[in-house]
Amino acid sequence: MKPWAASTALRAGRWLLVAALGMMAAWGSSAWAQTIESVLRPGDVIQGHAKWEEDCKSCHIKFDRAAQDRLCMDCHKDIGQDVRAKAGYHGRLKPQNCRGCHTDHKGRGARIVELDKKQFDHDKTDFALRGGHQKPDCEKCHEPAKKYSQAAQDCNACHRKDDVHKGSLGPKCADCHTDNNWKEAKFDHSKTRFALEGKHVDTKCGDCHKNKADYKDAPRTCIGCHKKDDDGNKGHKGQFGEKCESCHNAKAWKPSTFNHDVDTKYVLRGKHRNTKCTDCHSGNLYKVKTPQDCNSCHEKDDKHKGSLGKECGACHTERDWKEKGKFDHDKTSFPLLGKHITTKCDACHKTKDYKEAPKDCYGCHKKDDKHEGTLGEKCESCHGEKDWKTTRGRFDHDKTKFALRGGHAAEKVRCSDCHKDVKSYRKTPMECYACHKKDDKHEGQQGQDCARCHIDKDWKTTPRFDHGLTRFPLLGKHFKVECKDCHKSLRYKDAKIDCLACHEKDDKHKTRLGTACEQCHNARSWKAWDYDHDKRTKYVLDGKHKGLACEACHTRPAEKGKVVTSTQCVACHSKNDVHDGSYGRQCQQCHVTDSWRTIRSGMGRKVGAGPDTSTIPRSMWTPRIPAGAWS
């Protein structure tokens, strides 16, 4: 506003105030108050309030704004009732003045209800928006010519055009439909005469209720809906009648729940349990009686062409048509034993009537005869039904010239191991070497009379051989020694008989006592020795010599067959000669074997004294020999 305009307005306001004060004084306070309200009215009211425009007291109490809300509710009684009951939209709002939202005197065409659609909380109304109602525009439910609160709340008011039932099911759409999806129904079918079970629970309404108008003409019988299934390629085509529930149920159309064992007089067993109904029931189930005898269904399978009659159950079972097990062959002239029990019928019965089968072994097993008839046709003499290849228990080999004993009678030994020519078993040699030549580890050095050492019980066991008949009888420890400990070669004849050949490693004397071990040791025990030195040599052991070890004197290896050791004292005691050889080499003239320090009686001297040559024969005098010369 420009300065001159503001000054003009101020002067006009002052004149107006002066005029008002003058009128107040002239007319009095009451008349003045009414007139001043008219003078001070800010503008025209809306069209709805126009008839009360001149009567200010209809909406205003003089200079008392707080009392105006009561006057608003006197006219807007429905809103006043909601506020007092705390119901409806206005009743759920926080307490506030009406004019806070609705301001009048803005002109006839003014909108005193300014609605912010984005901020408006529809949940505070009597119709909270849920599901599909949250998306539509306000105008789809609220007509422009009516108040918002006058919008209809029943489904049919808005959805009448969507009602495919054309009103035949009444206006209570919510009994079946929900806010989330109009096409989604929540109707409780269990309250009807056809409760939904199994697969029916998930079935669409229209699949059964073809007339969507009233839903009252839907069939309640299975065939009413499932006739198309019965007429299809996999259906019964009316053959089993219309009582579908006799076999099927709502849980699942397949498999059938029909219990043939309980509901009929024909119990299903074996293969019959997995057989399709139509395989046996070829006619109308309720008009044509199904036969119960085997031949009625299995005549086409009868390979005997009726020659064995129609009592199929006498031989065949329901478990498997080809399985034989019921027919008792033992009641015939040929009882089945061993391998014959599991043999197929047609292996023996070549004809369909089974009456011309041979009863002797050769009739069937001629092709298996490896002897080519050389042993006759009485196969049972050797063979049995248990196993064609097993002949033990039948043929008595002891009645031949070669009775089977020991290893020959073992189960692992087969006839063909000895009888190489299966055409004629009679030409088989009986001597050991004929079969065991390949086992002869002696390479023929011991001859061909194997039985001289070996026995039937075990080829490796040789208790028959008498070692006492050889140049080396087995005595003492040798009796328990294994052959291979001495006989390094299986030729056996190259084994030496002298002790040292085997015991050289045991010779602690290092051949100092020679190689004739038997002079001291014997076969009973290597450590035991009974060599009599006094009798077997020219040197008697007495005194200290008795307890000495052999190697104390015998220090050098002896030549083969000889044990020669000097018998002179000085040979061993030169290191003990304190005389340095001055008294010669015949120590025994003075010393004794009990103690080196003991001097023979009559010598007249003590140990350590000089020599008394008067008592020593002249023949014993010898030149003085330096010490160590005799060692």
pTM of the full structure: 0.35
Last residue of a domain, one of 550, 565, 580: 565
- Residue 85, C-beta contacts closer than 8 angstroms, at least 6 positions apart: 91
Which residues are registered as beta bridge partners of 599? 591
Q: Are residues 573 and 557 in the same domain?
A: no
Report whether pLDDT(291) > 90.
no
Q: Are residues 552 and 575 in the same domain?
A: no
Q: Are residues 513 and 528 in the same domain?
A: yes
Is 13 domain-assigned?
no
Angle between helices 29-40 and 3-27 in degrees, nearest 10: 150
**What is the mean pLDDT of the segment spanning 540-562?**
81
pLDDT of residue 9: 44
Q: Are residues 540 and 572 in the same domain?
A: no
Is 595 domain-assigned?
yes
Q: Are residues 579 and 621 in the same domain?
A: yes
pLDDT band, residue 528 (cuts 50/70/90): low
Q: Are residues 594 and 553 in the same domain?
A: no
- For tokens 């001159």, the residue is 4
Whole-number Å distance between alpha carbons of 500 and 477: 16
pLDDT for 329-354, tens place per residue? 888 888 999 889 888 888 888 887 77
Is 376 domain-assigned?
no
Is 627 domain-assigned?
yes
> Please, what is the end-to-end C-alpha distance for the chain in angstroms?
160
Q: Are residues 547 and 572 in the same domain?
A: no
208: containing domain: 195-224+244-257
Q: Are residues 534 and 584 in the same domain?
A: no
Please indicate whether residue 435 or residue 614 has the higher confidence score (pLDDT).
435
* Count of positions (residues) in the chain: 631
Last residue of a domain, one of 521, 550, 565: 565
Is 231 domain-assigned?
no
Q: Are residues 502 and 559 in the same domain?
A: yes
Is 378 domain-assigned?
no
pLDDT for 598-631, tens place per residue? 888 765 444 444 444 444 443 443 333 343 333 3
Whole-number Å distance between alpha carbons of 461 and 387: 33
Whole-number Å distance between alpha carbons of 297 and 268: 14
Contact indicator for 20, 29 with CB cutoff of 8 Å: no
Q: Are residues 557 and 606 in the same domain?
A: no
Of 252-256, 389-393, 455-459, 473-477, minimum mean pLDDT range: 389-393
Is 412 domain-assigned?
no
**What is the mean pLDDT of the segment spanning 89-99?**
90
Is 152 domain-assigned?
no
Which DSSP symbol is given to 400? S
Q: Are residues 557 and 573 in the same domain?
A: no
- Residue 87, C-beta contacts closer than 8 angstroms, at least 6 positions apart: 126
Which DSSP symbol is given to 324? B
Number of domains making up the chain: 3
Last residue of a domain, one of 257, 278, 308: 257
pLDDT band, residue 510 (cuts 50/70/90): confident
Q: What is the DSSP string of 39-65?
A: HH--SPPPGGGGGGSS-GGGT--TT-G
The answer to whether the peptide bond before residue 255 is cis (omega within 30 degrees of 0) is yes
